[in-house]
Structure 1
């Protein structure tokens, strides 16, 4: 259950601490990013996922893969110890070590962030500002800070770094109210890959011995 909470926090979003007005320059940049990523069908992104606790100085890093079907809520997120799959209606979280799959409804509001919305989440229910540019991994990036209109979440802010030249997402840094930080750093992006849409559905026959726990 603790591991599920970690991934749920990774994809949950951000109680608002941004200014009341939406920044028009931020919107223009985000519109360019959304347009870039919405023109593909199914894309594959490689990323590193970092968890940092500033109090203990503890740091965990792992790599993963994200498959997304454009203009839908379908995704598959693969980490070393777990997978998260959504067909847009049902969400499955497979805990490899426990041989357990937890089944939930896919989030229907902004209380959780769906990875399929990584490139266009700002379009509904969020505030965003453009504080300026910054150098990230040797690239000049537009920095955009977002927060949801719903202020009850455990995470209060997300910071996107967007390659200024290509309008590609470089990383997403998530801040929670306990002081922890969670970072997606995009290491590769392949648009229009040829895979079956069945990857967005959990097929129990491919996971022998797994226990299914329906939490709906």
Structure 2
């Protein structure tokens, strides 16, 4: 994104500039509502994604791939060497490298944005505005700029890229106040797949040799 902020203040335009901004906000809201409606219409969703983190000042760069299956609020996430399962009651974090499983309540889970919220997180806590339209390998990607309403947020802004044709989220580009840019790109988006009935069920018998922390 590299600070793609289209905040242009032209004093000569006066009230006209404010009207344009209002119209852009309405367009952004309409598109986001279409995305939300489309996402909520699916029985389940399976996503493969690429994660990139960059901070030039700290000379930090990280890339990884992951996948997530979603059904309602339930999810199964594979990312950064761990597996996380949420069955609507508990969150199970499985770390094979440490042979450890942590079982916790949702409110105790350290991840503030769960995969089930990933596609609709923007509905609360942000103002939004129409941004640039890009052609990505033949796909028209319209960006909506989100700005946190909480001035204490660590997030400076978020660009949400939406495929104009499918109304699916293509990518999410977050800029932190500390200069860190995080990009999540959807490589594969499948819907209404035949899922195992046990996909979102944690089977403790499979982890008899693991240390299980139940946080009781």
Q: Provide the TM-score with structure 1 as the length reference.
A: 0.77
CA 197–153 in structure 1, closer or farther in 2 if over 3 Å, else same: farther
Instruction: Name 1:213's counterpart in structure 2.
Output: 213
Instruction: Name 1:4's counterpart in structure 2.
Output: none
Tell me the alpha carbon deviations over residues 130-173 of structure 1, each in whole angstroms, 9 at most, x when there is no partner: 22323445532111122444444433432211112222211111
SS of the residue 1:199 aligns to: coil
User: Is 1:47 aligned to 2:49, yes or no?
Assistant: yes
SS of the residue 2:188 aligns to: strand
CA 88–129 in structure 1, closer or farther in 2 if over 3 Å, else same: farther
State how many pairs are aligned.
194
Shift of 1:126: 2.9
Structure 1, unmatched stretches of 5+, are: 1-18
Structure 2, unmatched stretches of 5+, are: 1-20
- Map residues 83-102 of structure 1 onto 2, 5 A cutoff: 83-102=83-102
Q: Which has the higher contact order (CA 8 A, sep 6+)?
A: 1
CA 26–48 in structure 1, closer or farther in 2 if over 3 Å, else same: same
User: Is 1:75 aligned to 2:67, yes or no?
Assistant: no
Paired with 2:121 and 2:55, the residues of 1 have a C-alpha distance of: 26
Instruction: Name 1:160's counterpart in structure 2.
Output: 160
SS of the residue 2:49 aligns to: strand
CA 39–177 in structure 1, closer or farther in 2 if over 3 Å, else same: same
8 A contact 1:107–1:114 mirrored in 2: no
Instruction: Name 1:199's counterpart in structure 2.
Output: 199
Shift of 1:46: 0.9
Paired with 1:134 and 1:185, the residues of 2 have a C-alpha distance of: 15
Paired with 2:202 and 2:157, the residues of 1 have a C-alpha distance of: 31
Structure possessing the higher radius of gyration over alpha carbons: 2
Q: Provide the TM-score with structure 2 as the length reference.
A: 0.77
User: Is 1:38 aligned to 2:21, yes or no?
Assistant: no
Instruction: Name 1:142's counterpart in structure 2.
Output: 142
8 A contact 1:101–1:212 mirrored in 2: yes
CA 54–125 in structure 1, closer or farther in 2 if over 3 Å, else same: same
Alpha-carbon RMSD across the aligned residues, in angstroms, is 2.8
